[in-house]
Amino acid sequence: RKYPVELARGNARKRGLPRQAGHRAGAENLRRIIRACVEFKIKILTIYAFSTENWRRPVDEVKFLMNFNERILLNRRDEMNERNVKLQFIGRRDWRVPRRLIRRIEETEALTGANTAMTVSIAFNYGGRAEIIDAVRQIVASGVKAERIDEKMISRHLYDPKMPEPELMVRTSGEFRTSNFLMWELAYAELVFTDVLWPDFRRENLYDAINEYQLRDRRFGGLNR
């Protein structure tokens, strides 16, 4: 199962703290949620770490986030590897991302690639629309005729073609939007919204979200008999 959870924005502001404090608290909380996912036998978790729109933030904050994410990788990847957790990244690895950080990402994926307890997919420099655009560009570049393009073909050209479609998306911090997250993949996912801020989102909150999901009637456009 894949339960994507977005790293919600606005946490620090609601606490009257600098945004950097919110980033640090959110990253620390991710460790707790990963441990809870392993306990709940959740096999795939997708986290929204940095969006393509986040480049519009102040230069100092963007620089902080680049350095901060590099430090997280260096400090946490060995722990995740010991827990048998696979770390992978989806998103554009373009000129805006520092080459040093891309190397850390590649090193982390190589280190943890064979782990089987669960997969944590980190959406970094990611946008749902950008993912679809990149998929279509690949298809067009390969010379495929327009009439041959279908849902399966587009799915095969997404950032992670092997990743199953989400069953549940949890949006924290009282926000009621998907924020350009997994636009293609979320077509039939169940959405759960909570007022709990991401740094305060605990094992119990995740359990409640999963329980709410399990009580829903999923029909995928058809009828259950």
pLDDT tens string 48-91: 999 999 999 999 999 999 998 898 899 899 999 999 999 999 99
Checking if the pLDDT of 5 tops 80, the result is no
pLDDT value at position 142? 95
Are 86 and 160 in contact, with CB atoms under 8 Å apart?
A: no
pTM score: 0.86
Average pLDDT over residues 94-123: 95
pLDDT value at position 59? 93
What is the SS3 assignment for the chain? CECCEECCCCHHHHHCCCHHHHHHHHHHHHHHHHHHHHHCCCCEEEEEEEEHHHHHCCHHHHHHHHHHHHHHHHHHHHHHHHCCEEEEEECCCCCCCCHHHHHHHHHHHHHHCCCCCEEEEEEEEECHHHHHHHHHHHHHHCCCCHHHCCHHHHHHCCCCCCCCCCCEEEECCCCCCCCCCCCCHHHHCEEEECCCCHHHCCHHHHHHHHHHHHCCCCCCCCCCC
pLDDT value at position 117? 94
Average pLDDT over residues 104-130: 96
Q: Which residue has the higher pLDDT, 79 or 223?
A: 79
